[in-house]
Amino acid sequence: MVFILENGVSIEAVTAFRKEFEDAGFSTIYAPGTEHTAICLLGNTAAVDMDTIVATHPIVAYGRRVTEQYKAAGRTVHPDDTVIRVGNAQFGGGAFTVIAGPCSVENEEQIQLVAESVKKSGAKVFRGGAFKPRTSPYSFQGLGTEGLSLLSHAKKQTGLPLISEVMNQTQLPLFEDVDIIQIGARNMQNFDLLKEVGKIGKPVLLKRGLCNTLEEFLMSAEYIMASGNEQVILCERGIRTFETATRNTLDLAGAVLLKEKSHLPVIVDPSHAAGIRSLVAPMTRAAIAVGVDGVMIETHNNPAKALCDGAQSLDLEQFDTLMQDIKRRVEFEGRSL
Amino acid sequence: MVFILENGVSIEAVTAFRKEFEDAGFSTIYAPGTEHTAICLLGNTAAVDMDTIVATHPIVAYGRRVTEQYKAAGRTVHPDDTVIRVGNAQFGGGAFTVIAGPCSVENEEQIQLVAESVKKSGAKVFRGGAFKPRTSPYSFQGLGTEGLSLLSHAKKQTGLPLISEVMNQTQLPLFEDVDIIQIGARNMQNFDLLKEVGKIGKPVLLKRGLCNTLEEFLMSAEYIMASGNEQVILCERGIRTFETATRNTLDLAGAVLLKEKSHLPVIVDPSHAAGIRSLVAPMTRAAIAVGVDGVMIETHNNPAKALCDGAQSLDLEQFDTLMQDIKRRVEFEGRSL
Amino acid sequence: MVFILENGVSIEAVTAFRKEFEDAGFSTIYAPGTEHTAICLLGNTAAVDMDTIVATHPIVAYGRRVTEQYKAAGRTVHPDDTVIRVGNAQFGGGAFTVIAGPCSVENEEQIQLVAESVKKSGAKVFRGGAFKPRTSPYSFQGLGTEGLSLLSHAKKQTGLPLISEVMNQTQLPLFEDVDIIQIGARNMQNFDLLKEVGKIGKPVLLKRGLCNTLEEFLMSAEYIMASGNEQVILCERGIRTFETATRNTLDLAGAVLLKEKSHLPVIVDPSHAAGIRSLVAPMTRAAIAVGVDGVMIETHNNPAKALCDGAQSLDLEQFDTLMQDIKRRVEFEGRSL
Amino acid sequence: MVFILENGVSIEAVTAFRKEFEDAGFSTIYAPGTEHTAICLLGNTAAVDMDTIVATHPIVAYGRRVTEQYKAAGRTVHPDDTVIRVGNAQFGGGAFTVIAGPCSVENEEQIQLVAESVKKSGAKVFRGGAFKPRTSPYSFQGLGTEGLSLLSHAKKQTGLPLISEVMNQTQLPLFEDVDIIQIGARNMQNFDLLKEVGKIGKPVLLKRGLCNTLEEFLMSAEYIMASGNEQVILCERGIRTFETATRNTLDLAGAVLLKEKSHLPVIVDPSHAAGIRSLVAPMTRAAIAVGVDGVMIETHNNPAKALCDGAQSLDLEQFDTLMQDIKRRVEFEGRSL
């Protein structure tokens, strides 16, 4: 149930209104917007008499029942785009932001080289995996804390904010210097982890699970938001289908639909979706054209020798060439990098 | 097995070479190109001694075994893009071509109105279904031959070439005035129908089946080509996945991969892929950005009252607005409409 | 809309009742049953006043709106199992019937050998493909009419009724001696073919499409029934999923659900579903245990040299061993072979 | 790489052999069997000269390279069935074991009632969820530690061993009284959790992920085993496909293939697979018929009021009736309950 407030209501009146319902056992979402400000009631609202509340609270203009399960993530309660800022990077609100870096942190030289190069080309956030979810226990599992140190060092050198994947909640204290916490596709429904990252004060990039619907994806964002963290970036990275010619099937129409349904920023990961280097550039061009808020591109100084995902990684020159094209296209769309 | 010919070989020498192998029970594909001309041998070539053939035929520069199953549709034998021309429309070779029209032919007024309007907006081919494949026997099945007459009339009025779906081979004689024969998704592996349209001298638009791989798609094109018709246009129209928020999942990366693997023109049908009107424009923009050869867009004078697929149809004004945007984007890409 | 008739209504009264509605433009389904007899009205019944009809027609006990789209195939109108008899074989009504034979008819010796052997082992229907739907135009396409002749000859020798796949409606006249017409998975939504086999007076075995839902499957049966042929046997043969370890994924729960929703006989094809010989016996045991009406098993005199689907074919001895086990199990279930 | 040992080799010789390779940086798996005993080398064995090792170690009969990625879970290294015993329950080795209980622990009365009833009917393990993975943060999340206490109490009353789902590794200390740790489908690739349950000395029931292949499933079992815990029970619980008539699609052929490929016990969860009460009994019968090692069945004293998954739960009487049928069938198969 959402209550749209009259214009010009004081913050004290809003606080009193929320307290009244929170004392009665409900949670509330406060959603200030350009057109109107709304308060959403969460919990079992079946017995709540909406009309009486509207009639007895002068600060309320009108009320509405919210049919979507994703109250906090949906546009019904919160119609304006959420904008998330990290360093010089902006997600949502018209920017098109490029995250780049290798699949996994391998050594200091690699990380320095790639970080400086992608910064020069125009990337705004640097990615690198220190803890790697691998299908086989016998595959390279990442450098762990040492990997995080190398990332911190690269951040100091370049000024680029960092994104890295957390695999379980006990690792969170290690991620102090990481600016955006990534939740991987396999953890999209690791609800306890979602609750924990809901308690930290930094942005979370949530990847769509391999076989999760858009509705489930938004419900996982809702877990993070319901725990108190509204800085969630959604990342479409391909779903698993019967087709095996590509690693996954990029659901680009799904990404557009996410932006229709939700106010959260939405980016696309063409590298994991396709799994094939030659498809990264065309899918990036498509992402710009449909209007999502950015891309995350695997970039490596020597893809042929990468410890993971080499086949889908661009080398530094290919990434630079792509960035030139991205700039031209973002300008054409009237947006900013 | 493919033989690349020396430059400047006479057509008589080519004919003699092909006859030699056809007399021995093989089929041959003749693939003239800008860089080289090739002859492909089809059949059981396991026992053929390639080296001896190269050594004993001076017109042959070198030979190669073709590992793809799709000999005729693949780029190995035929590296240059196939270009198909119908009226003023061109598929392949840099053009971006828009097919528009209603899902089904409903009545004369509708067809005239829509045909004239989409022509004015810039569509190059007019579509309309006379025979409709419907899940339920109790749903509208199309106007049949009367529908084809109405299409012919619209063609006379507007000069737009026609595309319409054939549902079985006995209907082919009725399609004399139809310029491009459409094979629907459900018939992609109706192999007898593929063989029949392989014998007619006009372009065939082949839609990808709901759960068919790209390899199977190319093999179905191969059926048509192996029967003698090389004018095949491939159409990606979304595949069936677990996601139900959209009607199907548009496999745009698959469309790009098709163009890598095959020289045939590839278009996209955003209307059927998404099943939601608001996604048609963004997916069309994406199609232009990735470099496919065109789109097919369901357009109706009154989508709310359409006898089928109204929810995914644009009205005439929406289509016109989209065409303005398409023109701007096609120009940006350095291509022609 | 379905009208349940009073007991003991004369056939003349029934005919008059149907005629009244057929004259008004509706189709009717007549469904006599053990508990009651029903007449179903097909067409646009939105404006039909059910209560008035009940009140004014003494032969009608009561009426009900049918919510399923599959009026003829569903149990709402027709609660009793349909039983289809072909030679000594019975589909539905408690029998468990085994169809056996090779994927494709290869030569006279093979067909005679396999037919006699599977008959001796206890198969009740002989299968063999004369027209083969193959992904590649360069694969063996079947012996065609010669294959049908060989099947006829085997029928004369063994007395086993025949089942064989028709690939398009122009072939139907060739199938005079074939007792059950098979519609393959790829043709499940070849609606024109469904309408044609709806006009012939013999049983049709309809295979589920690779990516078709149970609802679509029943709607395709509805096409055949709405055209006048109520002898439809449904065959679950595995669906296409992301899993590649098996050829397809057998949806056995789906087969059980089909029997809940529909009165038509349901059989299972474990050979195509699994694509692996060792899984045929366990899946056959599962089919008996869940209560479907039979199985179709690919059996070959020399699977290692089969022209198609050898990897999933049992040899004659393996089939005989399986049949002994089937007999023991069918007896345990209190059913008859 | 696996080394098959000569018969009658002393345990000291085995230990010395393993130590030699562990000192060189490899892990080893020790697999004693009825026919032979094997030692498997894990790690980068590309440079290991197998022939020299065989020639220089008299205790080794012969060596073989293992092509499967799942060395510990596969049958190549470990051909005999693994048998896991918990209380009176046995998984593997010919037994058919039934786990029963409610989806979630709701209150003391419910737990006592259901535990006593399912024990009386013949269940050997009691299930109940204390921590519930729910798509929505607003749904009932389980009673948590209080739920575990109620389970412990039921265990004391009935003597039935317990199985309950752990959602993250920090909860493991709370599970001291739980006999089998369940890893849910959404956590099948939560690799850190797998590593942690690999360090505890009790059986783990690992559920297949909604869209994970059989190979990935076995690799997740491999994670647990490579961390030192060889007591892994695999549970097929349905995969996500395009079909929506059932909650998931039970991959029963996949369960059979798992038993072919792996020596680990395999059970089936028909409740979650189907999501429909009427399908639980037939799918249980199918599970017995194909030869898997047990089933897990959701059972509730009042399904209509269950806090989760009521639609797929049997009531106590339905469960008792099913158990009678299970007994009759297990006896028919020559196996024991």
| Residue D46 confidence class, pLDDT cut points 50, 70, 90 | confident
pLDDT at D35: 79
Distance of alpha carbon D43 from alpha carbon B246, whole angstroms: 45
Percent of chain B with pLDDT strictly greater than 70: 100
pLDDT at A44: 79
pLDDT at B46: 80
pLDDT at B77: 87
| Mean pLDDT along residues C144-152 | 98
Query: Are the Cβ atoms of C167 and B133 closer than 8 angstroms?
Result: no
pLDDT at B112: 97
From residue A266, alpha-carbon distances to A273, A274, A282 in Å are 15, 18, 18
Contact status of C27 with chain D (Cβ, < 8 Å): no
pLDDT at C36: 83
Alpha helix segments (H runs only) across chain C = 11-23, 50-56, 108-121, 145-158, 191-197, 214-226, 252-261, 270-274, 280-290, 316-332
Tokens, residue C337: 């072979």
Tokens, residue D65: 């390279």
Residue C173 has pLDDT above 90, yes or no: yes
Residue C45 has pLDDT above 90, yes or no: no
Residue B99 has pLDDT above 90, yes or no: yes
Compare D76 and B294 and report the one with higher pLDDT. B294
pLDDT at A46: 80
Count residue pairs from A and D with Cβ separation < 8 A: 72
Backbone angles phi, psi at D328, to 5 degrees: -60, -40
Closest Cα in chain B to A259: B279
pLDDT at D77: 87
Tokens, residue B243: 């996601």
| Stretch among A185-199, C20-34, D111-125 having the lowest mean pLDDT | C20-34
**Mean pLDDT over each residue of chain D, to the nearest integer:** 95
| Mean pLDDT along residues B51-61 | 93
The alpha carbons of chain D give a radius of gyration, in whole angstroms, of 21
| Residue A204 confidence class, pLDDT cut points 50, 70, 90 | very high
Please write the tens of the pLDDT for every residue from B259-284.
999 999 999 999 999 999 999 999 99
**Mean pLDDT over each residue of chain B, to the nearest integer:** 95
Contact status of D336 with chain A (Cβ, < 8 Å): no
Residue A77 has pLDDT above 90, yes or no: no
Give residue A248's identity as a one-letter amino acid code.
N
For chain B, list the contacting chains (3+ Cβ pairs, <8 Å): A, C, D
From residue B158, alpha-carbon distances to B117, B162, D168, D307 in Å are 10, 10, 67, 63
Q: Are D32 and D18 in contact (CB under 8 A)?
A: no
Please write the tens of the pLDDT for every residue from B9-19.
998 999 999 99
Please write the tens of the pLDDT for every residue from D222-265.
999 999 999 999 999 999 999 999 999 999 999 999 999 999 99
Q: Comparing C-alpha atoms, which of C118, C122, C123, C78 is closest to residue C232?
A: C78
- Chain C partners within 8 Å of A241 (Cβ): 242
Compare A224 and C24 and report the one with higher pLDDT. A224
Q: Which of C75, C214, C234, C243 has the highest number of chain D CBs within 10 A, making it the mutation to test binding with D? A: C243
Query: Are the Cβ atoms of C168 and B167 closer than 8 angstroms?
Result: no
| Mean pLDDT along residues C10-38 | 88
| Residue C270 confidence class, pLDDT cut points 50, 70, 90 | very high
| Residue B32 confidence class, pLDDT cut points 50, 70, 90 | confident
- Chain C partners within 8 Å of B137 (Cβ): 191, 195, 219, 222-223, 226-227
Residue D295, classed as helix, strand or coil, is strand
Closest Cα in chain D to A139: D43
Query: Are the Cβ atoms of C187 and B191 closer than 8 angstroms?
Result: no
Distance of alpha carbon A13 from alpha carbon A20, whole angstroms: 11
| Mean pLDDT along residues C227-243 | 97
Q: Which helix (H) or strand (E) holds A319?
A: helix A316-332
| Mean pLDDT along residues B240-246 | 96
pLDDT at A53: 93
| Stretch among A108-117, D26-35, D206-215, D275-284 having the lowest mean pLDDT | D26-35
β-pair type (D162-165, D125-127): parallel
Distance of alpha carbon C23 from alpha carbon D143, whole angstroms: 64
pLDDT at D185: 98
Strands of D60-64's sheet in order across:
D27-31, D38-42, D2-5, D60-64
Alpha helix segments (H runs only) across A132-198 = 145-158, 191-197
pLDDT at D129: 97
| Mean pLDDT along residues C31-47 | 83
Percent of chain C with pLDDT strictly greater than 70: 100
Q: Comparing C-alpha atoms, which of A40, A33, A25, A18 is closest to residue A222?
A: A40
The alpha carbons of chain B give a radius of gyration, in whole angstroms, of 21
- Chain A partners within 8 Å of C241 (Cβ): 242
| Stretch among A49-53, A209-213, D154-158 having the lowest mean pLDDT | A49-53
Residue A32 has pLDDT above 90, yes or no: no
Distance of alpha carbon B14 from alpha carbon B30, whole angstroms: 9
| Residue B27 confidence class, pLDDT cut points 50, 70, 90 | confident
Closest Cα in chain D to B210: D242
Query: Are the Cβ atoms of B241 and A244 closer than 8 angstroms?
Result: no
Residue D47 has pLDDT above 90, yes or no: no
Contact status of B332 with chain A (Cβ, < 8 Å): yes
How large is the ipTM? 0.93
Residue A300 has pLDDT above 90, yes or no: yes
Residue B37 has pLDDT above 90, yes or no: no
Percent of chain D with pLDDT strictly greater than 70: 100
Residue B47 has pLDDT above 90, yes or no: no
Question: How many other CB atoms are found less than 10 A from the CB of residue B182?
Answer: 25
Closest Cα in chain A to C240: A242
Give residue D239's identity as a one-letter amino acid code.
I
| Residue C153 confidence class, pLDDT cut points 50, 70, 90 | very high
**Mean pLDDT over each residue of chain C, to the nearest integer:** 95
| Residue C332 confidence class, pLDDT cut points 50, 70, 90 | very high
pLDDT at D184: 98
| Residue D143 confidence class, pLDDT cut points 50, 70, 90 | very high
Closest Cα in chain B to C72: B137
| Residue A90 confidence class, pLDDT cut points 50, 70, 90 | very high
| Mean pLDDT along residues B292-321 | 95
| Mean pLDDT along residues B29-53 | 85
| Residue D12 confidence class, pLDDT cut points 50, 70, 90 | very high
Query: Are the Cβ atoms of A137 and D190 closer than 8 angstroms?
Result: no
| Mean pLDDT along residues B282-303 | 97
Residue B42 has pLDDT above 90, yes or no: no
Q: Are C293 and C95 in contact (CB under 8 A)?
A: yes
Distance of alpha carbon B85 from alpha carbon D89, whole angstroms: 72
Q: Which of A45, A183, A191 has the highest number of chain D CBs within 10 A, making it the mutation to test binding with D? A: A191
Distance of alpha carbon D185 from alpha carbon D182, whole angstroms: 9
Please write the tens of the pLDDT for every residue from C275-329.
999 999 999 999 999 999 999 999 999 999 998 888 999 999 999 999 999 999 9
The C-alpha of D97 sits at a distance from chain C's nearest C-alpha, in angstroms, of 18
For chain D, list the contacting chains (3+ Cβ pairs, <8 Å): A, B, C
pLDDT at C142: 95
pLDDT at B110: 96
Distance of alpha carbon D317 from alpha carbon D330, whole angstroms: 20
Compare B42 and D18 and report the one with higher pLDDT. D18
